[in-house]
Amino acid sequence: MDTHVVRVENPNALNVILGQSHFIKTVDDLHEALVGAVPNIQFGLAFCEASGPRLVRTSGTAPALIDLATRAARALGCGHVFVIFLDGAFPINVLGVIRQVPEVCRIFCATANPLEVVVAETEQGRGVLGVIDGQAPLGVEGPDDVRARRELLRKFGYKL
């Protein structure tokens, strides 16, 4: 087995969701879930088919985001993995509906941080071993950091 680290291209620090599913129907069901969750959502979705023609299947509402998702999926090359790029929405707005899609097996991460994916490669193919999401902590928050965190959450409308 060989291992590779694949950096997910994300030049505008958009939110990206990386997950695994099990069926070609994933593309259509994820598309429907996303547009049903957030009105006028802008997203690009790519899914790596693991058998048959083994194509990268795509969908979305924004061509540039579809292109980003497609490039990420091709770079990863892992069967049954999907990549979603979001603009104007946060993962917290859509993770619940993504988890409810019957084909979805797992979500590896949802982030706007720099993202690296650790990929295993065997004679059969490639699979995700894990993700490196952002950087390591520099310390532990103090009272001022707690206040700043809560103010940020209020600003985004997630806390009163």
Q: What is the pLDDT of residues 47-82, one digit of tens each?
A: 999 999 999 999 999 999 999 999 999 999 999 999
Summarize the confidence of residues 81-96 as an average pLDDT.
95
Which residue has 């707690």 as its token pair? 146
Res 23: pLDDT: 87
- Judge whether residue 14 has pLDDT over 90: yes
Summarize the confidence of residues 127-135 as an average pLDDT.
96
> Is 106 part of any domain?
yes
- Judge whether residue 42 has pLDDT over 90: yes
Res 46: pLDDT: 98
> Is 97 part of any domain?
yes
Res 6: pLDDT: 98
Classify burial at 18, counting beta carbons within 10 Å of its beta carbon; exposed 0-12, middle 13-18, buried 19 or more.
buried
Q: What is the pTM of this model?
A: 0.93
With CA atoms as reference, report the closest residue to 29 among 106, 77, 97, 85: 97
CATH number for position 85: 3.40.1520.10
- Looking at the structure of the chain, the number of domains it has is 1
Average pLDDT, the chain: 95
Question: What φ, ψ does residue 157 adopt, rounded to 5°?
Answer: 85, 15
- Judge whether residue 31 has pLDDT over 90: yes
Res 156: pLDDT: 83
> Is 149 part of any domain?
no
- Judge whether residue 160 has pLDDT over 80: no
Alpha helices by DSSP H, listed for 4-157, are: 26-37, 63-76, 95-100, 143-155
Can you give the residue range of the structural domain that contains 96? 2-137
> Is 147 part of any domain?
no
